[in-house]
Structures are given as C-alpha cells and as structure tokens.
Amino acid sequence: MMVPSNLQRLRLAHNVTRLSMAKSLGITPQAYGNYENGRRQPNLTVLCKLADQFNVTLDELVGRTLQTRTSPSKGHFLHTGQLNENDVSKVSDFIDTLHRQSHYVDQNAVSS
C-alpha cells in the first residue's frame, strides 16, 4: 500500500501540518507521524476519516486507483499497473470510443 507517501503528498497539497491532522483525527501527532513514516498502518476508521479529510476515495488513498479498471460493457479487467495516469486515460478514452462506434454500428444495422 502507498498510504504513507499518499498521506504526506495529500497533506502537503492541502497545506496542512501534521499537528493539525492529528488533532482533526483525534490522535497524537506521534501516531499520525507513524502513519506518514510507514511505521504503523491506520485502521479502517482512521482511513475513512483521512479519505474524507482529503476528499478522496479509499482506493485513491491506498493507491489502488491505477491498478485496474473495469470495461463498462463486458466487465473485463484492464490491468494498468505499469502505465502512468496519462496513458491510462488514453486507453480508457480509446475503449470508450470503441464502445460508442460499436453502439453506432449496431443502431445503423437495425435502422437499415
């Protein structure tokens, strides 16, 4: 899991100190520091609070967002773990285009 690096990245992006994060979570600054340093893993309750605090999903918080995506029509998994976010977006757009074209061809075949 990428929780420690994501916590630090999100905290800095939101311009929040470790002390204020600890206070908002109701934990000690040392406990929060342990999460960011990877010495301890937050429990599910704390993870949910962190996701809410940073306005991200739990998947995003733990680094699962780019691991797999589901094809909307077939339910197949597309493994994207080795791709960067830009490439994943291009692949996703390409799949969406194929689905739209397929739908367009299907409708034209029916109306002919």
Residue 77 confidence (pLDDT) above 90: no
| pTM score | 0.56
Residue 7 confidence (pLDDT) above 60: yes
pLDDT the model gives residue 24? 92
Round to the nearest angstrom and report the end-to-end CA distance of the chain.
Answer: 53
Mean pLDDT of the region 93-101: 79
Mean pLDDT of the region 3-25: 92
Q: DSSP letter for 101, please.
A: H
- pLDDT band at residue 39 using 50, 70 and 90 as cut-offs: very high
20-29: Cβ within 8 A, 24+ apart: 21/53, 24/49, 24/53, 25/49, 25/50, 25/53
Residue 4: CB partners within 8 Å, gap ≥ 6? 35, 36, 37, 38
86-95: Cβ within 8 A, 24+ apart: 95/71
